């Protein structure tokens, strides 16, 4: 497809300083202008990571990520606000429930309202009235979700037919990958668009998040080994193009705070491919000598291999840079990921299942829209400190779902996001307090034990 179909990319001289409303810095954030670039070489001083406490004999650790819009204490869960909003919840509520950062989707914001509009507003945080750190993904997820029609599921199984032309039943292919990039057909109106590493970087620089991810190809476990190898080569080449374009755009946009760039590690469930990807990306530098600021661990994988794969990656990755695990939020997965070295996580699941009436609590999940809660005047979780549990009952929320009132989604999302954020906060406290293993055993014993666990909840 012609490059004429490519989305808007910032010109060599982007918006002049002062042409957009600046985001008010969070308390403790660097002064305006911190993280500027001199002589075309990025000054990365406004972004950094330090380790606080380590788990003995394992990769797990607590630490602090510094960004131009504040600090993130790790491990940390990063709620997903796909279209510059966590669905059904105002950003102020996300702050109140303890979220330290939010992640938005570059592909969706490019389509609507357009990355240039977000840039004109002063960046993602200013646009959505969120003063804290922000993340954006690269659009690489759509390679898989639009290309083969599958939603990302951690527990995707590797059994069955191997096919590089796999597509979900009843789905139409909306994305086609080639070595230069991806051609998309919009899920909104069918219009055609072209993403390349340079386009993805241009969009994400306009969105202005504190952390961006390099453009990558997300494969499925049904792809052949040969395809996984070819895809890894392609993702490596795209990563080099991303870091080169990141250097160029950062120098051109020196009036904006520094944006960190994370590489994305693929390789499916193959140890040699995962380790090679880590080593190659760690060694990669842009023309001006810039390396990646952190690393995202991506890819579809079988749930029982999560810890092993994260461990392989953390064996190879540098200790002084943060590691983000893409698309993880279930409690058992969080514990496994943390002890094997992951620092931050994002996932839509807490809000997605909340909109389907599935409620998290320490003994598992339950569906509040079932008949047994019709006259239950207790909180969703008596042990929860969220706004919903302090003010509303199961009976009322049951009524809201039956009446198809939007408030049901709002109240349940607040609760589920608070549950997940607080769980990761508690995991961090257990690392720093030296009782991680005891906390893990106690929590998972309740989560997997008898009770209301997973009663009919679906994502």
Backbone φ/ψ region at 215: left (φ over 0), alpha (ψ -120 to 50), beta: beta
Residue among 119, 210, 333, 346 flagged as catalytic: 346
**Residue 381 designated active-site:** no
**Distance between CA 53 and CA 428 in Å, rounded?**
9
The partner residues of 184 in beta bridges, in order of sequence, read 175, 193
**Residue 137 designated active-site:** yes
| 3-class secondary-structure state, position 144 | helix
Residue among 137, 280, 293, 343 flagged as catalytic: 137
Count of residues for the chain? 459
**Distance between CA 33 and CA 18 in Å, rounded?**
12
**What is the number of other CB atoms lying within 10 angstroms of the CB of residue 291?**
17
Contacts of 279 (CB under 8 A, 6+ apart): 316
**Distance between CA 362 and CA 436 in Å, rounded?**
17
User: Which of 183, 279, 266, 181 is CA-nearest to residue 231?
Assistant: 266
Cis, peptide link before residue 75, omega less than 30° from 0: yes
Q: Percent helix, strand and coil across the chain, each rounded to 5?
A: 35, 15, 45
Structure tokens at 67: 């960004």
By the 8 A CB rule, do 263 and 238 touch? Answer: no
Cα dihedral 444, 449, 453, 458, rounded to 10, equals: 60
Structure tokens at 251: 């120098």
The catalytic residues are 137, 346
């Amino acid at each position: 497809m012609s490059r004429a179909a490519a989305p808007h990319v910032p010109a060599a001289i982007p918006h002049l300083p002062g042409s957009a409303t600046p985001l008010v810095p969070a308390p403790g954030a660097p002064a305006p202008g911190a993280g500027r670039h001199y002589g075309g070489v990025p000054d990365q001083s406004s972004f950094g990571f330090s380790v606080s406490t380590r788990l003995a004999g394992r990769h797990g650790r607590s630490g602090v990520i510094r960004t131009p819009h504040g600090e993130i204490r790790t491990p940390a869960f990063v709620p997903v606000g796909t279209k510059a909003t966590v669905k059904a919840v105002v950003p102020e509520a996300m702050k109140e429930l303890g979220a330290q950062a939010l992640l938005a989707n570059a592909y969706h914001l490019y389509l609507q309202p357009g990355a240039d509009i977000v840039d004109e507003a002063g960046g993602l945080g200013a646009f959505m009235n969120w003063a804290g750190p922000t993340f954006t993904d690269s659009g690489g997820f759509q390679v898989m979700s639009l290309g083969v029609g599958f939603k990302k599921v951690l527990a995707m199984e590797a059994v069955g037919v191997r096919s590089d032309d796999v597509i979900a039943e009843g789905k139409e292919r909306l994305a086609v990958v080639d070595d230069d990039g991806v051609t998309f057909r919009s899920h909104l109106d069918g219009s055609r668009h072209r993403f390349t590493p340079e386009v993805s970087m241009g969009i994400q620089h306009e969105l202005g998040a504190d952390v961006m991810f390099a453009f990558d190809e997300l494969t499925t476990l049904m792809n052949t080994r040969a395809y996984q190898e070819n895809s890894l080569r392609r993702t490596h080449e795209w990563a080099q193009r991303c870091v080169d374009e990141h250097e160029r755009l950062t120098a051109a946009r020196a009036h904006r705070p520094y944006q960190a760039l994370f590489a994305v590690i693929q390789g499916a469930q193959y140890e040699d491919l995962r380790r090679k990807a880590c080593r190659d990306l760690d060694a990669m530098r842009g023309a001006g000598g810039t390396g990646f600021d952190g690393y995202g661990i991506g890819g579809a994988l079988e749930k029982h291999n999560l810890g092993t794969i994260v461990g392989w990656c953390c064996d190879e990755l540098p200790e002084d840079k943060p590691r983000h695990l893409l698309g993880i939020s279930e409690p058992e997965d969080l514990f496994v990921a943390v002890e094997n070295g992951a620092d931050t996580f994002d996932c839509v699941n807490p809000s997605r299942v909340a909109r389907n009436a599935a409620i998290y609590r320490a003994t598992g999940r339950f569906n509040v829209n079932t008949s047994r809660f019709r006259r239950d005047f207790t909180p969703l979780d008596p042990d929860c400190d969220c706004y919903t549990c302090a003010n509303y009952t199961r009976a009322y929320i049951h009524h809201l779902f039956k009446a198809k009132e939007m408030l049901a989604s709002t109240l349940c999302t607040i609760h589920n996001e608070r549950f997940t954020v607080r769980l990761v906060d508690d995991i961090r406290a257990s690392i720093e307090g030296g009782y991680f293993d005891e906390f893990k055993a106690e929590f998972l014993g309740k989560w997997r034990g008898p009770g209301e666990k997973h009663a009919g909840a679906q994502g």
